[in-house]
Every structure is written in structure tokens, then in C-alpha cells.
Amino acid sequence: MGRLKSQAKPFEISKWEVKEAWGEVRANKGAPGVDGESIDEFEKDLRNNLYKVWNRMSSGSYFPSPVRAVEIPKPHGGGMRMLGIP
């Protein structure tokens, strides 16, 4: 008791890595996730949004949303299968 907790972040994730990942999503014209937010909407407040993502990831409080389920046909017929899109 009486000990100070460490102020260090539990995960070492640089802001540069988050910005690079954003660049890849942007280049791939990523589709909206389960939250429905488009790239254009995210970009309206890009600096703040990237900071929030970095902060939550580096603190260990970021938990990705559930995946979007999409049905795709089986290659040799016989119905459909579910594909999870993160």
C-alpha cells in the first residue's frame, strides 16, 4: 500500500505506427466498420481521432468492435459460408 503506480503505458505503440496504419487504410479505400463511420467522416477530425486510437491502444483499453459478417458462396457450390470482416 502507498506505492505509486507506474505511469508508463503498458504497450509501446508509437504515434508514427498509428499514422502509418491510417495511411494504409486510406490507400486501400477501407470500407466503414460496424460503427458505420466512413473514411471521409473519420478524416474530418483526423488528428483527434488518430490520437484517441493511439491513446486507447497504448493504454490497453482498446478493444476492436465485433466483426461484420458477410455471406459468400462456397467455391464448389453447396450453399454459403460466413466470412468475418474486421
Q: Where are the domains of the chain?
A: 15-85
Q: Would residue 64 be called left, alpha or beta, if left means φ above 0 and alpha means ψ between -120 and 50 degrees?
A: beta
Q: How many helices (H) and strands (E) does the chain have?
A: 3, 2
* Reported pTM: 0.63
Q: What is the DSSP letter of 12?
A: -
Reported as a single tens digit per residue, the pLDDT across 11-33 is 788 999 999 999 998 898 877 77
- Per residue in 30-71, pLDDT tens? 777 767 888 999 999 999 999 999 998 888 888 777 777 888
Burial 36-64 (b: 16+ CB within 10 A, else e): eeeeeebeeeeeeebeebbeebbeeeeee
